[in-house]
Structure 1
Amino acid sequence: MVLLASWAPLGLKRLPMPMTLPIVCVALGAFLFGNNVFSGDPSPRTWDTMTERMTELVVIVSLMGAGLKLDRPLGWRRWGTTWRLLAIAMPLTIAATAWLGMVGLGFPLALALLFGASMAPTDPVLASDVQVGPPGKGDGDEVRFGLTSEAGLNDALAFPFVHLAILVAAGGLGGAAAIGEWFGIYVVWKLLAGLGMGLLVGRAMGFLIFSSRRGGLSRHGDGLVALAATLIAYAATEMAHGYGFLAVFVCALTMRARERHHEFHEELHHFSDQVERLLMLLLLVLFGGALARGLLDALTLQDALVCLAILLLVRPLAGMLAMAGSPHPPRERWLLAFLGIRGIGSMYYVAYGINHGSFGDSERLWAAVGFLVLASIVTHGLSSDALLRRLARRRAQADPAA
């Protein structure tokens, strides 16, 4: 896996056909487990707690990297694309996916809500190929910036709906008081706690790293600081009963804002990117092994068609509605809507919900999620690079000075 993480990205670029590292890793895992090179069943159905913890770790590492590489300062107008995707596209995707879960898959309300909340966020891990470059390289086009910032924030915003599904499964959402409690705790408090702890830890880490007197920790040039900041922000926020995903991303943005153009941000991002890539590849090999061991056995043809509709119709339509009236060209709006990659974050939410709620048999849920993630890895993996390159060429032709 270390060799793959180091060498494969360079080798894949030389292939005459489009190919991505996630596709290679899933295929490798399917081969190794399918041919009994590795024994056992790595299915998340069997290892639900381990699945939750491993996906949790790779997501928070990815969120730190996403926050560090955003060059654009936070602002209402500057982040207009992000707010549109979060406030309009995401709720629409949750609602439509939950509805299709009930009507198309036959899930009860609680399971359908969990399905909708899990499949709505753009994955910060697998979407790294369509995100902006390292710190100091610029935001590129609006598509890359929008997908990066959306992926950094939407994981935390999916959590209230995961908790809503858990409460519905427990039968605890039967009146206005229960709804008010859910809104007060799981929406207001946890989001505010995540935001506040992210700012607090980010400012503290920014002071330690970029202290003006002695140069701070940046003098040592050790990227391990990024992992330390990730774990401190996440753990402190979880202890405060807030959303740790939000805190990690806000912490990264706050650290970046302390000395926005400092070269040490590149080292921090580089280390986060290496850790994220290694963990991602390991999980994708195990995911491929789970596919080979029967993760999709419970999937029916109707289930597969519903999942494809979610991937190819629901998110694109919700994204286009969110971007209606924006100042960006139609092609950029369409790419922002289409490239909502689903992946490891979705697996985390399903594992979290099942481990903390009473949803009954989860075989079909895992089969649907596994198929949808696989379809996203293949569809977006094979098309995203060509689509973004074509967009860059059109932008260059339209504005030669750029």
Structure 2
Amino acid sequence: MSLAQWSLFVGALLVTMVLAGTLLGRLPLSSAMVYLALGWLLGPQGVDVLRPDPLAHAHLLERLAEGALLISLFAVGLRLGVPLSDRRWRLPLRLAFVSMATMVAMVTAVGVWMLALPLGAAVLLGAILAPTDPVLASGVPSDGGSHPDRLGFSLAAEGGLNDGAAFPFVMLGIGLLDLHDLGSGLVRWWSIDLLWATAGGVAIGGALGAATGRLVVHLRSRHQEAVGLDEFLGIGLVGMAYGVAQICLASGFLAVFAAGLALQRVRERPRPDTRPLDAAAGLEGHSYDTLATHSHHASATMRDSVQAFNEQLERLAELALVLVVGAMLAYAQPLPAAWWFVPLTLMVLRPLSALAATTGEGLIGSQQAMIGWFGIRGIGSVFYLLFALRSGVDGALADTLVSLTLWTVAASIVAHGLTAQPLMQRYLRTRRRAGARHDPDERPS
């Protein structure tokens, strides 16, 4: 297709999504399902204008997936307003680490015993498929604020955390395939890839997010400087957090997520003897410059502006990545094992891994079931697949990883897209009948 034809297609697609957005909201369909189908139609098995061969173009596709993942992780961090001291964080932390490690272990066992994969390849497959997706989970409510629904908050926070938490296991699998130095007795792996990558990523991102946010709020509220260009602020913070973390051998994904969390928590610094602007007037009664430089509103204005722009980027990233995934399905060989491996992963292994993390958390039955089901696989799995291919995985093993990963992601997009709306409606009805506006565990500690 020529540039003019691509321009026409992309423009028509974006306008159509706007016009059909309300209709899609009434149907048990997600936007990702539409993008996936369109991607398949554009790929080699359709009109053959999009050929994202994951083996031939691993480096370029990895960068595309990486950028989309960074945008989504920062956006999720900005949305999660629950205080870090609140015990509601305990569940997503257990899901992101306990559940993910359990998932890696179970997929590894299946890979070795049922797929006859080498241990390193089985660990790598488990690590690729362990992360859940914070973007494609949009059918599950993950509203912000300090008192969100526990289900939506836990799934969104899990998706934001475990994309970075999967990195050590990916490196372990690659190392066991002799494609990465694990060190004598795995010393380099557990000290650098596991402990430092995790702790360092969170520390670097949190420090940069907090420092940058506080500096901007100070300059705006005290000196009326650094006003505007909030779009640059968000993208710049993502770039700084990721870049510093990667240079320091820490997790760039956790750094970007932590930067979003930290920026969300930058507080106002009111001047003495001043009071907030009239709340009744809201944004309609005051200009952006007035709100951005007022000591009672500078932080909220900065955060809301950055978040609004980043959410638009997130939607465009979802469109681009899922279109590519749809076209990439043509390169996923229809392995016989995929017919049983994909449903096993989504319907058995995910609920079991979630059970390991949710036991003792005081969840009601519907919450337990929903968390077990909504382990949506997406951009993180695609990124780590491409990372493994670029790291030197090739041959029959590469074909197996491509097939099982892409078919799992595609099945997840379809299955979870079809079920998100009806299951959420049922869940909310159950909650209303139970008369529980909030769980006992949702109160701050």
Query: TM-score w.r.t. structure 2 length?
Result: 0.82
Matching residue within 308, 325, 329 for 1:270: 308
Q: In the aligned structure 1, how far is the partner of 2:179 from the partner of 2:424?
A: 46
Moved more, 385-394 or 140-149: 385-394
- Please say if residues 70 and 139 of structure 1, whose CA atoms lie closer than 8 Å, have aligned partners that are also in contact: no
Q: Give yes or no for the alignment of 1:179 onto 2:179.
A: no
Q: Deviations over 1:108-148 (max 9, x none)?
A: 11111111001001112322332513x54x55311100011
Instruction: Describe the SS at the equivalent of 1:220.
Output: coil
Structure whose alpha-carbon radius of gyration is higher: 2
Deviation at 1:180, TM superposition (A): 2.1
- Please say if residues 97 and 162 of structure 2, whose CA atoms lie closer than 8 Å, have aligned partners that are also in contact: no
Q: Cα–Cα, structure 1 residues 40 and 394, in superposed 2: closer, same or farther, change >3 Å? A: closer
Q: In the aligned structure 2, how far is the partner of 1:63 from the partner of 1:347?
A: 15
Moved more, 270-279 or 37-46: 37-46
Q: Cα–Cα, structure 1 residues 336 and 214, in superposed 2: closer, same or farther, change >3 Å? A: farther
Q: Cα–Cα, structure 1 residues 10 and 79, in superposed 2: closer, same or farther, change >3 Å? A: farther
Deviation at 1:336, TM superposition (A): 1.2
Q: Deviations over 1:340-379 (max 9, x none)?
A: 1001110111111221244543112101111100100001
- Please say if residues 78 and 260 of structure 2, whose CA atoms lie closer than 8 Å, have aligned partners that are also in contact: yes
Q: In the aligned structure 1, how far is the partner of 2:216 from the partner of 2:16?
A: 31
Residue correspondence of structure 1 range 143-292 to structure 2 within 5 A: 143-170=151-178, 177-211=184-218, 212-214=221-223, 217=226, 219-220=227-228, 222-259=230-267, 262-291=300-329
Moved more, 85-94 or 247-256: 85-94
Q: Cα–Cα, structure 1 residues 400 and 77, in superposed 2: closer, same or farther, change >3 Å? A: closer
- Please say if residues 221 and 267 of structure 1, whose CA atoms lie closer than 8 Å, have aligned partners that are also in contact: no
Q: In the aligned structure 2, how far is the partner of 1:382 from the partner of 1:352?
A: 30
Q: Give yes or no for the alignment of 1:113 onto 2:93.
A: no
Q: In the aligned structure 2, how far is the partner of 1:337 from the partner of 1:103?
A: 24
Larger relative contact order (Cα-Cα within 8 Å, sequence gap ≥ 6)? 1
- Amino acid aligned to 2:245: T
Q: Give yes or no for the alignment of 1:334 onto 2:343.
A: no
Deviation at 1:36, TM superposition (A): 5.6
Matching residue within 371, 385, 388 for 2:421: 385
> Which 5+ residue runs of structure 2 have no aligned equivalent?
1-9, 269-298, 439-445
- Amino acid aligned to 2:367: E
Instruction: Describe the SS at the equivalent of 1:327.
Output: coil
Query: TM-score w.r.t. structure 1 length?
Result: 0.91
Instruction: Describe the SS at the equivalent of 1:354.
Output: helix
Match in the other structure for 1:376: 412
Match in the other structure for 2:287: none
- Please say if residues 172 and 178 of structure 1, whose CA atoms lie closer than 8 Å, have aligned partners that are also in contact: no
Match in the other structure for 1:8: 17
Task: Work out the number of aligned pairs and report it.
Answer: 395
Q: In the aligned structure 1, how far is the partner of 2:38 from the partner of 2:141?
A: 25
Q: Give yes or no for the alignment of 1:345 onto 2:388.
A: no
Q: In the aligned structure 2, how far is the partner of 1:5 from the partner of 1:65?
A: 21
Match in the other structure for 1:88: 98
Deviation at 1:172, TM superposition (A): 7.2
Matching residue within 307, 311, 324 for 2:342: 307
Instruction: Describe the SS at the equivalent of 2:372.
Output: helix
Q: In the aligned structure 1, how far is the partner of 2:428 from the partner of 2:12?
A: 31
- Please say if residues 30 and 139 of structure 2, whose CA atoms lie closer than 8 Å, have aligned partners that are also in contact: no
Deviation at 1:92, TM superposition (A): 0.8
Instruction: Describe the SS at the equivalent of 1:277.
Output: helix
Match in the other structure for 2:332: 296
Deviation at 1:171, TM superposition (A): 7.5
Q: In the aligned structure 2, how far is the partner of 1:244 from the partner of 1:172?
A: 18
- Amino acid aligned to 1:341: I
- Amino acid aligned to 1:105: L
Q: In the aligned structure 2, how far is the partner of 1:242 from the partner of 1:96?
A: 26
Q: Cα–Cα, structure 1 residues 174 and 355, in superposed 2: closer, same or farther, change >3 Å? A: closer
Q: Cα–Cα, structure 1 residues 323 and 210, in superposed 2: closer, same or farther, change >3 Å? A: same
Deviation at 1:40, TM superposition (A): 5.3
Q: In the aligned structure 2, how far is the partner of 1:203 from the partner of 1:122?
A: 26
